[in-house]
Amino acid sequence: MIINLCFHGIGTIEREREPGESRYWVTEDNFLRILDEVTEHPHARLSFDDGNRSDVVAALPALLERGLCASFFALAGRLDDAASLSPPDLRELRTAGMTIGSHGWTHVPWRGLGDDDAHRELIDARSLLAEASAGAIQDAALPLGRYDRGLLGRLEQAGYRTVYTSDRFPARSDSWIQARYSVSASDTVDSIRSILAGRPGVRDARNVLASAVKRLR
C-alpha cells in the first residue's frame, strides 16, 4: 500500500479564487517539516493540485534538496495567470524530473458535465498542457474530488493512465484510481506522521465505502 499526499499551495495565499481555498495552503516552514518526515517513508507519494506558482518557487527547490519527486496537476486555463504555473514553469518541472498531469481547464467539478464542457476539461486541457510542458499528459487529478461512474468512464475512454481523487485512504500502487490525503493548513508533522503510518481506522473504512458508492452511482 502507498500513501498519496496532496498539496495545493505553499506559503501565504494572496487572494482566494474560490471560497475556502486558503484552508489548503500550508506555511513554507510546515511544508519543509512535512517533507522531512516524508523522506522517512518510502511508500509515500507526493502531488500538487491547482498549478499555483508556489509549486515551482517553494516546492521544487525543497523537493530537489531532499531527492524527492512529485506529480504536478496544472490548470490549462491559468497558464497566463501570474499567480499560476506558466509554460516555462511546467517545462522546468519536467526537466527536474517531475511529472505533469491535468487538473482540467477551469477548476470546476467534472461530474455531470455536458459533452462540450467535458471535452474541454478532459481533452482540450490535456492537449494544451502537453504543448505547454513539452511532454505527454497521462494522469489526471479530479477537481474538488467529485466523481461518479459516468465520469470514470469518460476518463477511461480518454486514455488516462491514472486518476487521482481526494478520498483519504491508502491506495494500492497498481490501482488506476489513486486515493489521496489533502494536506491542509491545520495539519502538523504529527498528523501527517499518523497518516503515513498507514494503519487503517474507522474513518478510512468509511472513506473506502464512500469511494465504492461513487464508482457505482
The Cα 156–Cα 134 span in angstroms is 23
For the cut 60, the answer to whether the pLDDT of residue 7 exceeds it is yes
Question: Which pLDDT belongs to residue 15?
Answer: 86
Cβ–Cβ under 8 Å, residues 68 and 77: no
Q: Are strands 3-7 and 181-182 parallel, antiparallel or unpaired?
A: parallel
**118-162 pLDDT, tens digit each:** 999 999 999 999 999 999 999 999 999 889 999 999 999 999 999
Domains and CATH numbers, the chain: 3-216 (3.20.20.370)
Residue predicted with more confidence, 50 or 197 = 50
pLDDT tier at 204 (50, 70, 90 boundaries)?
A: low
Residue 217 has pLDDT above 60, yes or no: no
pLDDT band at 65 (very low <50, low <70, confident <90, very high): very high
Q: Is the pLDDT of residue 92 over 80?
A: yes
* CA nearest neighbour of 153 among 101, 111, 213: 111
Burial of residue 101 (number of CB atoms within 10 Å: 0-12, 13-18, 19+): buried
- Report residue 186's pLDDT band, with 50, 70 and 90 as the boundaries: very high
pLDDT by residue (tens digit) across 26-44?
Answer: 999 999 999 999 999 999 9
Asked if pLDDT for residue 18 goes beyond 60, the answer is yes
pLDDT above 60: residue 208: no
What average pLDDT does the chain have? 92
Whether the CB-CB separation of 48 and 56 falls below 8 Å is answered with no
Asked if residue 100 has pLDDT above 80, the reply is yes
